[in-house]
């Protein structure tokens, strides 16, 4: 978890489910650092980016099969300043992963690794954890910054990150297209993006699945789901999309960056997976049951390409200021 995010104070008292969206909030922090006018707005050319074999449906493979498909490349390979320097000449997939590495390492590149360590030690000291808890949190902190160590002393530009993402999206990378959906104005209707979203989900890519979930919940508080228009909290839905992405191959293990951050900064250690962490730290058993129900629904919709089940079919005319979609939950 980067320093600029910690300094916002959002993590310390935010609902636990909101913490599941750490990656999105980190990304929004990065976008905030790009002052208005510093980057000329570039319209995202969606339709051409979706065409071609790169986004062909995944043939409804079960999650285990997709996991093998999308783990052929190790994202850790892209945490290399030298590689970042020649990124423009690489393929779209490489540019996406390089952009994600730069985004992850932004704070460290500006603060310096020793300053981050000093800041963490001060925070840990004020928390007064026991000896074992302190050791666990220190180990998790070192794990969370290890990949970014090569960027110590450099200065990562937010403009560079955005340019790489937009370029990769323009060339058809589904992960980059999903990520750039988060650039959209909050006031802009999501309905016009449903065709793009369904094709991104059909790719079976876990990074695209995660960010599509963020996109659909972004700017919402409650979403209407089910035949009875039962409201579901957006933060609950984000957690369910994240878990579904885990099933399709997203790194959600005990040594993942997200869980290392939560252990280091929140003292929530010991989880062997994101699902385990949610089970341990969700506020209530009712909320946990709802996350699991929604995760099952999302997983079923992804495998079957049932976009109506996922609320991606417009069932009523748009109403200003209200959600215009609902998912039909069978059973």
| Confidence class for position 184, pLDDT limits 50, 70, 90 | confident
pLDDT higher at 141 or 225: 141
Predicted pLDDT of residue 130: 79
Vertex 226, ends 185 and 252: CA angle to 5°?
65
Q: What is the mean pLDDT of the chain?
A: 75
pLDDT beyond 80 at 276: yes
Q: What is the DSSP letter of 314?
A: B
Distance CA 209, CA 250 (A): 9
Query: Which is more confidently placed, 87 or 72?
Result: 87
Q: Tell me the residue ranges of DSSP E strands in 149-229.
A: 222-225
Q: Look at residue 296 and tell me whether its pLDDT is greater than 50.
A: yes
pLDDT at 180 over 70: yes
Q: What percent of the chain has pLDDT above 90? A: 50
Convert 222-260 to b/e letters by CB count within 10 Å (16 or more is b).
ebbbeeeeeebbbbbbbbbbbbbbbbbbbbbebebbbbb
Q: In which residue are the tokens 């609950």 written?
A: 236
Average pLDDT over residues 244-256: 93
* 3-state DSSP percent of the chain in helix, strand and coil, to 5: 60, 5, 35
- Of residues 118 and 39, which shows the higher confidence score? 118
DSSP H or E stretch at residue 41: none
Q: What is the pLDDT of residue 156?
A: 94
Q: Are 84 and 153 in contact (CB under 8 A)?
A: no
Backbone dihedral angles phi then psi of residue 259, each to the nearest 5 degrees: -70, -30
The dihedral formed by the CA atoms of 19, 23, 26 and 32, expressed in degrees to the nearest 10: -110
Number of residues assigned to the chain? 331
How far is 207 from 261, CA to CA, in rounded Å? 19
- Judged against a pLDDT cut of 90, whether residue 264 lies above it is answered with yes
222 and 231 Cβ atoms separated by less than 8 Å: yes
pLDDT bin (cut points 50, 70, 90) of residue 275 is: very high
pTM score of the predicted model: 0.75
- Reading the block at residue 320, the tokens are 């200003």
Give the model's pLDDT for residue 51.
34
Q: Residue 229: what pLDDT?
A: 52
pLDDT at 215: 93
Burial 26-37 (b: 16+ CB within 10 A, else e): bbbbbeebeeee
Q: Is the pLDDT of residue 233 over 90?
A: no
Least confident stretch, 46-50, 101-105, 147-151: 46-50
- The token pair that represents 235 in the structure block: 């933060």
User: pLDDT-derived band of residue 218, with 50, 70 and 90 as boundaries?
Assistant: confident
DSSP symbol at 223: E
The token pair that represents 94 in the structure block = 């490489």
Within 8 A by CB and 6+ apart from 17, the residues are 233, 235, 236, 238, 239, 278, 282, 283, 287, 291
CA 102 to chain centre: 15
Beta bridge partners of 314: 325
128 CB neighbour count, 10 Å cutoff: 8
State the residue for tokens 């704070």.
107
Query: What is the tens place of the pLDDT at every residue in 131-177?
Result: 888 999 999 999 999 999 999 988 899 999 999 999 999 999 999 99
Torsions phi, psi for 93 (to 5 deg):
-60, -45
Token pair in block for residue 239: 């957690």
Q: Which residue, 285, 262, 253, 296, is CA-closest to 20?
A: 262
d(CA 325, CA 313): 7
């Amino acid at each position: 978890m980067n320093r600029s995010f910690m300094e916002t104070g959002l993590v310390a008292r935010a609902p636990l489910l909101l913490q599941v969206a750490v990656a999105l909030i980190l990304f929004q922090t990065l976008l905030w650092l790009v002052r208005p006018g510093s980057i000329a707005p570039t319209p995202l050319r969606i339709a051409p980016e979706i065409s071609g074999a790169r986004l062909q449906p995944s043939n409804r493979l079960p999650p285990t099969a997709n996991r093998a498909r999308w783990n052929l490349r190790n994202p850790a390979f892209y945490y290399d300043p030298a590689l970042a320097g020649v990124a423009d000449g690489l393929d779209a997939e490489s540019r996406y992963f390089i952009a994600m590495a730069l985004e992850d390492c932004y704070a460290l590149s500006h603060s310096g690794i020793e300053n981050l360590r000093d800041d963490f030690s001060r925070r840990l000291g004020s928390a007064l954890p026991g000896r074992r808890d302190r050791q666990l949190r220190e180990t998790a902190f070192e794990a969370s910054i290890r990949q970014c160590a090569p960027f110590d002393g450099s200065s990562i530009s937010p403009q560079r990150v955005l340019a790489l993402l937009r370029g990769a999206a323009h060339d058809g990378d589904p992960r980059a297209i999903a990520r750039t959906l988060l650039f959209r104005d909050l006031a802009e209707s999501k309905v016009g993006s449903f065709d793009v979203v369904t094709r991104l989900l059909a790719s079976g890519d876990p990074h695209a699945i995660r960010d599509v979930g963020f996109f659909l919940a972004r700017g919402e508080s409650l979403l209407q789901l089910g035949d009875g228009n039962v409201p579901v909290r957006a933060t609950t839905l984000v957690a369910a999309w994240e878990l579904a992405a885990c099933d399709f191959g997203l790194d959600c293990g005990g040594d993942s960056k997200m869980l290392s951050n939560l252990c280091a900064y929140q003292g929530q250690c010991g989880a062997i997976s994101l699902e385990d962490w949610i089970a341990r730290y969700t506020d209530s058993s009712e909320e946990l049951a709802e996350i699991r129900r929604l995760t099952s629904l999302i997983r079923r919709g992804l495998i079957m390409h049932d976009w109506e089940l996922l609320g991606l079919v417009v069932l009523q005319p748009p109403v200003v200021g209200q959600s215009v979609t609902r998912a039909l939950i069978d059973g």
